A and B are shown apart, each in its own frame.
Chain A
């Protein structure tokens, strides 16, 4: 029997079931949600040392709360299902919530089983939750999919829209602080699972597009609020530097990935050696620093160093770009891959024996002192509003500023004559050229701008890391940067921020499974390519490029353009 007839038969069965029991779905969802909520009030294990303390009844903690959250989402979606809203498809959301809940409960039971001596130590809570989760899944599948009508979005007053944005971002800040605080690996994993489940449920139910629409209408307040939230983050850490050091790494990674997104996402060029430009900036920063191992005698102020880093990196970009940008696609990828390796090997060998002594070879340049802006020492702890802000917090604020600059460059280039040229090149290179677009020049520009931003980030990274060695700039890092762009969404700022955070945060928090890191990312990317090739937060245009046939998407993009024109 061929697979198509199999899936047809499955559809037939689903259809018949929907005909018969469809009207029951909302009640199933509500019941399932209620059961999940109740399960949170029950005991999940009689041993009180697993997964924090989940043994007490009517005192939900940790994963009990997460189960309740999933239950509440299912309840809300169930009620929405009863109320038939044209711009929402609660059925799909229920399917996602239910699936997430089933996986969640299964993993929770597994965790209890693994960390104690078997499932015998699981109490009634988990099993009750499993029943609730299955009910929610059933409700999801019993609901026929709806064609979302994006024209039926409710129009709120702009004040209310801004309030929604602020509340959402405040929740994000709280959630981030809470997530980062989690030191139990299993609980952290289950928390991520819950967050993912809720996010996917809201997205598939149609909330995501609506929230995106609100964001689009209030772009300025959104950006301001996002920066405010990011600015407030160090104050939630109470002086602890554990999370701040991760945050700093994420910011450097994200700033670099944003630069790469100009090359990959906007101009559509595949660059596999991008880390070399970050390395260029870092080496420039190190060589011109006050380190005792610096190989250049000139010690200019840091602003000049940043400028030098940008200039040198963009010169490298031009040098590598001008001969290779005439080729396209795979050839460009191969050449840039080679360039990345050449950079690393050159830094490895410029040690005085095999060339001029610029980089101290494999030893690199250690002992780079902290930055000092007009007497503000980045190495010292400063207290602001009663909260001690340590070394990492200082760099965090500086990097936040850097990210702001990168985002500004990214967004403004995207929305300009140059950005239009890039889109035209991506759409049809030959037609673009025949319409007078300077294809070669624009590609070169993307390369140079991307390189200079990475160079800028590199100069700060050198001081933050205190040492620069060649093995920090291996191909794998380029691959991770590209993964952040692809995972997050080519051509968007938010996407890359999400992608960079995921790729940097998860390995830090899931130390137990660190050996499987590469395997997990490989799997993640394969799954992404299969189910969402345009990335988590794609630009509408990119999404259209990936799904030429999707009428709903075309409709959505069209609506947004009309909205913008108003």
Chain B
């Protein structure tokens, strides 16, 4: 396994810790899906999360974003502890995409992104009914920002297309645009290239680099090793709910335990990648 790392060199990872998860544990009855996982993400850093199916990656994401309340452990964003409410997590500055795309299918691409702006705007019922100057200003700004984000992810031409009519790769990018619309400092991407062809995967990689350049931290779950090892500054390998190896792509790549976890392991574990079983 030799992977070129040219694209990822020369980037300076900041010192400021954006996300700090310490000893996060999630149990479902007798089953420990996530077992004392700790993770630090610094400003401008791309962290990869790998592991065989059922290792607890998506469950860990759900613990971070407030969809699950972790049994133990704490999650802080910029030093402040995150409340276990998805709404408040988004307001605090963490946004995510979903493994199985969860767009608002019957809304247009633009409307999808505009929904993402919801938590950063404040017009309530009365302003909306009276259509005062504040409402119009805010609505205009929302529209403009959504348009800008669609162009940013390369969907500038598809603004009025219904989300359901977009090609698969574009739907994944639209999810990223929608997440970016919440003005996050940290972006969690759950398998952003699943089902993509090599060209789309390459485009997505460039997009993530671009997002990082703008100062955001990114955490990525992926099964595509080439993608992960090219993209990330640091990689965590999760096996059966706990961190097996953590290090630079080169370290993780050459670690015999990682290879064994993927090839030799008898992972007859639970299948927790389903999101619905909260």
Which residues of A are interface residues toward B (Cβ below 8 A)?
408-409, 412-413, 416-421, 423-424, 427-428, 430-439, 445, 449, 541, 544-545, 554, 557-558, 561-562, 564-565
Contacts and interface: CB of A to CB of B under 8 A. Distances in A.
Nearest to B85: A433
A435 B98 contact: no
Contact of A413 (B86, B87, B128): B128
27 contacts: A408-B129, A416-B123, A418-B125, A419-B128, A420-B118, A421-B115, A423-B107, A423-B115, A424-B104, A424-B107, A427-B107, A428-B104, A430-B275, A431-B98, A432-B115, A434-B65, A435-B90, A435-B115, A436-B120, A436-B182, A437-B115, A438-B87, A445-B125, A449-B125, A541-B106, A557-B162, A561-B160
A424 B116 CA distance: 10
B91 A436 contact: yes
Contact of B102 (A421, A430, A544): A430
Contact of B118 (A417, A428, A431, A565): A417
A554 B161 CA distance: 10
A420 B81 CA distance: 30
Nearest to B161: A558
B55 interface: no
Given A417-B139, A420-B114, A565 B159 contact: yes
B131 interface: yes
A543 to B, nearest CB: 9
A147 to B, nearest CB: 18
Contacts of A409: 129
A521 B220 CA distance: 55
A421 B117 CA distance: 10
B179 A435 contact: yes
A421 B96 CA distance: 18
B125 A413 contact: yes
Contacts of B182: 435-436
A190 to B, nearest CB: 40
A435 B118 CA distance: 8
A461 B131 CA distance: 29
Interface string B93-109: 00110100011111110
Question: Which of B91, B117, B128 has its CB near the most chain A CB atoms (within 10 A)?
Answer: B128
B121 interface: yes
B119 interface: yes
Contacts of B168: none
B82 to A, nearest CB: 14
A544 B162 CA distance: 11
Nearest to A438: B87
A94 B174 CA distance: 44
B158 to A, nearest CB: 11
A431 B102 contact: yes
Contacts of A424: 104, 107, 115, 118
Contacts of A561: 108, 160-162
A432 B98 CA distance: 12
Given A423-B115, A541-B107, 9 more contacts: A412-B129, A417-B114, A417-B123, A418-B124, A423-B106, A424-B118, A428-B102, A554-B164, A558-B161
Contacts of A562: 160
A427 B115 CA distance: 12
A554 B67 contact: no
Nearest to B67: A434
B111 interface: yes
Question: Which of B86, B98, B107, B115 has its CB near the most chain A CB atoms (within 10 A)?
Answer: B115
A427 B104 contact: yes
Contacts of B108: 561
A433 to B, nearest CB: 5
A423 B120 CA distance: 18
B25 interface: no
A435 B138 CA distance: 18
B135 interface: yes
A436 B119 contact: yes
A437 B107 CA distance: 15
Given A430-B67, A558-B165, A420 B87 contact: no
B131 A412 contact: yes
A558 B162 CA distance: 7
A561 B135 CA distance: 22
Contacts of A413: 125, 128-129
Contacts of A427: 104-107
A435 B179 CA distance: 7
B260 to A, nearest CB: 35
Contacts of A437: 87, 115, 118-119
B178 interface: yes
A435 B165 contact: no
Contacts of A416: 123, 128, 135, 139
B263 to A, nearest CB: 34
A420 B128 contact: no
B204 interface: no
A4 B162 CA distance: 34
Contacts of B118: 417, 420-421, 424, 435-438
Nearest to A446: B125
B99 to A, nearest CB: 12
Nearest to B278: A430
A388 to B, nearest CB: 36
A544 B91 CA distance: 31
A542 to B, nearest CB: 9
Contact of B96 (A412, A419, A423, A434): A434
Question: Which of A423, A424, A435, A565 has its CB near the most chain B CB atoms (within 10 A)?
Answer: A435
A419 B125 CA distance: 10
B142 interface: yes
A202 B124 CA distance: 41
A433 B182 CA distance: 12
Contacts of B120: 436
B179 A565 contact: no
A554 B125 contact: no
Interface string B54-81: 0000000000010100000000000000
